[in-house]
Amino acid sequence: MEHRIAYDPLLHIYNRDYCSKIISEQSNLNLMFPLSIAMVDIDHFKNVNDTHGHQAGDQVLYTVAQTVCKEVVPNGVVCRYGGEELIIFFPQQTARQVAPLVEKMRKTIEKTATKQRKRPSG
């Protein structure tokens, strides 16, 4: 039940509630270890929904979320923060350690094609 509450069923990643839980737990701790956070925001996403429809937008979101997971897990925890925004927590890692991984992830997303489901004809 806890998993269902903390999980985004569309993107197959953690949701904003889980993200908030991580932030609140970290803010109560004495951060002896570093914590790095990266934000992913899909450029021009509104155009995808407006031009190709929300189903295509959902597919883009799913593809990006799964690509992010493949690139950063197990080093990071990926959560959906907002509409097309994802947040990644990198516990016990500095920004300097995380920067190359995030840049590699960005390049991978840039090269990733999204498969569109065929619309029924008629």
φ and ψ of 7, to 5 deg: -120, 140
* CB burial readout 48-69, b (16+ within 10 A) else e: bbeeeeeebbebbbbbbbebbb
| 84 included as an active-site residue | yes
Q: At what angle do helices 54-72 and 95-111 cross, to 10 degrees?
A: 140
The residue annotated as part of the active site, out of 2, 25, 71, 84, is 84
Active site residues: 84
